[in-house]
Copies of this chain bind each other. A is one copy, B any other.
Amino acid sequence: MATLKLRSVAIDTYRENVAYLHRDCHVYHSEGFQALNKIEIRREENGEAVIAVLNIVDDESITAPGELGLSEQVFQQLGLPEGTPVRVRHATPPRSIQAVHRKIEGEALSAQDYRDIIQDIVENRYSKIEMAAFLVGCAETGFERNEVLHLTRAMVETGDRLQWNEPLVADKHCIGGIPGNRTTMLIVPIVAAHGLCMPKTSSRAITSPAGTADTMEVLAQVDLSPERMREIVHQHRGCLAWGGTARLAPADDILISVERPLSMDSPGQMVASILSKKVAAGSSHLLLDIPLGPTAKVRSHRDALRLRKLFEYVGDRMGITLEVVITDGTQPIGRGIGPVLEARDVMQVLRGDPAAPVDLREKALRLAGRILEFDPDVRGGQGYFLARDILDSGRALARMEAIIDAQGRNPHPPEPGKLVREVRASRDGRVAAIDNLRMASLARLAGAPLDKGAGVDLHRKVGDPVRRNEVLYVIHADFPANFEFACEAASQDDGYTLEEV
């Protein structure tokens, strides 16, 4: 069979594999080789195959007839040099797509079905629209809790697992949605200083203005090899690393690339996504934070309880000790929103700075206290006080500094963005509400989390009195275009509700 010469096309198509074929190419003469069709590319008859979606090229300088261009992602996956002869054929839809159709028709799928689907997803056999079909099928009310368990297990099994050889490996997770909620960077040093093992791996922000990994990166390196992470945890009992290097529940990372633009966040997917990562990371004990509020992800007590039960059902069956706390999600936590500003808040709390935000400190102590009580030697109800002692004595700060040095201190930590806009109160009154979604959106428009110094710095919180023209918050940005996007959005809706006193 005729072959094509491999060529790298320097286009970043993120999680979508794209192949480029010239319109006048001899294998193109069939319906199967039109734009947006899926093809299978391999070097030899029975060699490893990669799957890609076709784009048709009319410019020989991008891809000439007789060549097969591959976007950066696919070219890397295939791992062959340019000029290598490759064979191309129609990609058949992944076999597990039949199960997705059954799910769409309302059937409950088996553990084997979920294994097959997740295996195909991990092997990049699903297109984005096939993943969307799967996610929407599972978002329906007909997604049973046993299916969530099957899905979680399949996601763990298709990736690597970390082993810590520790009787108790503590972890915490927040379901997200509350800007500035950077408690993890306080909890880890407190818990580690107490002596519990807490090798924290975090993600970068997906839909929020900052993840723990983005914020920790302001202070230290977070991209640690598994070996280095192990050494640091051995010495300091904790770390704050980016979880992206380990192949933990890789299906989750792929599915997120479709969930994010769709704003899909169904309870079943959320539980499977979180618990699969935790189990794969080797955690034995997990504290889960579900913030509740009118602009939080969970907006009613009933929904919060239902989500808690689902976490408990799956967590128990995955063999992880799990506690759920429902917390106040009515407004952002702390003052800063965005990596640099949030890192500043965290360090203020650790240093006992009088300017430190009280709500961030109190929430971190409450959650750290619950984790400390996973320790059999800590008396029930004493965790909070123990955590407070560790923080106020400076032991948490010392541990944080040690972890920063061990991970690799950032010699030139970035500053808050130099482009600054003060957003002011339009009248006298009291702050009645702050919209979490709006504040997150403003910080992202300003450039967070990619621009570390970009974000929003809150000067007033709910309940604070304000006078007309007083500053409610300050927008920081590094680049003019982003700055204008954020300022324009704030002028349309500043996210604050003021009430008469």
Spell out A's residues near B (CB within 8 Å).
Answer: 1-2, 9-16, 18, 20, 23, 26-27, 29-32, 34-38, 55-59, 61-62, 71-72, 89-90, 93, 97, 101, 104-106, 127-133, 135-137, 139-141, 205, 257-258, 261-264, 444-445, 447-451, 454, 478-482, 484-485
CA distance A178 to B499 in the complex (A): 67
Query: Is A29 a contact of B451 with CB atoms below 8 Å?
Result: yes
Which residue in B36, B262, B264 is a CB contact (below 8 Å) of A14? B36
List of B residues within 8 angstroms of A72 by Cβ: 58
- 17 further A-B pairs in the complex, CB-CB below 8 A; given A10-B58, A55-B71: A11-B20, A12-B23, A12-B57, A14-B34, A29-B481, A29-B482, A31-B447, A38-B261, A58-B72, A89-B485, A90-B445, A104-B136, A105-B141, A129-B129, A130-B261, A133-B264, A136-B137
List of B residues within 8 angstroms of A485 by Cβ: 30, 32, 89-90
Closest Cβ of chain B to A148, distance in Å, is 17
List of B residues within 8 angstroms of A450 by Cβ: 29-31, 34
Which residue in B13, B34, B127, B484 is a CB contact (below 8 Å) of A1? B484
CA distance A333 to B140 in the complex (A): 40
- Highest count of chain B CB atoms <10 Å: which of A14, A20, A38: A14
List of B residues within 8 angstroms of A451 by Cβ: 29-30
Q: With A132-B129, A133-B136 as given contacts, are A478 and B14 in contact (CB-CB < 8 Å)?
A: no
List of B residues within 8 angstroms of A30 by Cβ: 444-445, 447, 450-451, 454, 479, 481-482, 485
CA distance A59 to B484 in the complex (A): 28
Residue of B nearest to A37 (CB): B261
List of B residues within 8 angstroms of A27 by Cβ: 479, 481
15 A-B interface contacts by CB (under 8 A): A2-B481, A10-B58, A11-B58, A11-B62, A29-B450, A30-B447, A31-B205, A31-B449, A32-B444, A104-B140, A105-B141, A129-B132, A130-B132, A132-B136, A133-B136
CA distance A205 to B31 in the complex (A): 10
Residue of B nearest to A2 (CB): B481
Closest Cβ of chain B to A387, distance in Å, is 34
CA distance A485 to B29 in the complex (A): 12
Query: Is B55 a contact of A11 with CB atoms below 8 Å?
Result: yes
CA distance A362 to B262 in the complex (A): 50
CA distance A137 to B1 in the complex (A): 42
List of B residues within 8 angstroms of A449 by Cβ: 31
CA distance A276 to B34 in the complex (A): 27
CA distance A212 to B453 in the complex (A): 61
Query: Is A57 a contact of B10 with CB atoms below 8 Å?
Result: yes
Query: Is A133 a contact of B29 with CB atoms below 8 Å?
Result: no
List of B residues within 8 angstroms of A14 by Cβ: 34-36, 56
Which residue in B23, B264, B479 is a CB contact (below 8 Å) of A26? B479
CA distance A37 to B207 in the complex (A): 12
CA distance A61 to B128 in the complex (A): 28
CA distance A444 to B93 in the complex (A): 15
List of B residues within 8 angstroms of A58 by Cβ: 10-12, 72
* CB-CB nearest 10 A-B residue pairs: A14-B35, A10-B59, A132-B132, A12-B56, A10-B58, A136-B136, A129-B132, A14-B36, A27-B481, A29-B479
Closest Cβ of chain B to A9, distance in Å, is 8
Which residue in B20, B258, B448, B484 is a CB contact (below 8 Å) of A129? B258
List of B residues within 8 angstroms of A20 by Cβ: 11
List of B residues within 8 angstroms of A132 by Cβ: 128-130, 132-133, 136
Which residue in B2, B97, B258, B445 is a CB contact (below 8 Å) of A480? B2
Q: With A1-B484, A137-B136 as given contacts, are A12 and B29 in contact (CB-CB < 8 Å)?
A: no
Closest Cβ of chain B to A147, distance in Å, is 16
CA distance A103 to B484 in the complex (A): 35
Residue of B nearest to A444 (CB): B31
- Highest count of chain B CB atoms <10 Å: which of A15, A93, A479: A479
List of B residues within 8 angstroms of A444 by Cβ: 30-32
Query: Is A139 a contact of B104 with CB atoms below 8 Å?
Result: yes
CA distance A258 to B450 in the complex (A): 32
Which residue in B1, B29, B129, B482 is a CB contact (below 8 Å) of A447? B29
Query: Is B479 a contact of A12 with CB atoms below 8 Å?
Result: no
Residue of B nearest to A454 (CB): B30
Which residue in B32, B38, B128 is a CB contact (below 8 Å) of A128? B128
Query: Is A93 a contact of B263 with CB atoms below 8 Å?
Result: yes
